[in-house]
Amino acid sequence: MAARTYQVIVRGTFAPLDDDQRASLLAKADDHDVFRAKFTEEGTITYERSLLAFTFRCLVPATVEEKEAAVIGRAEALAAAAVRGLGADYRNLDSVSTDLDSIKIRRRGR
pLDDT of res. 2: 56
Tell me the average pLDDT across 11-19: 97
What is the DSSP secondary-structure string of 3-56? -EEEEEEEEEEEPP--HHHHHHHHHHGGGG-GGG----SS-EEEE-TT-SEEEE
Reply yes or no on whether the pLDDT at 106 is more than 80: no
Q: How confident is the model at residue 15 (pLDDT cuts 50, 70, 90)?
A: very high
Tell me the pLDDT tens digit for each residue of 22-34: 999 999 999 999 9
Could you give the count of Cα atoms lying within 13 Å of 70 in the half-sphere of its Cβ?
A: 9
Percent residues over pLDDT 70 in the chain: 96
Is the dihedral angle over the CA atoms 66, 67, 71, 73 positive or is it negative? negative
Which domains are delineated in the chain? 3-102 (3.30.70)
CA distance 64 to 37: 27
Q: How confident is the model at residue 45 (pLDDT cuts 50, 70, 90)?
A: very high
pLDDT of res. 1: 52
46 near 12, Cβ under 8 Å? no
CA distance 98 to 5: 8
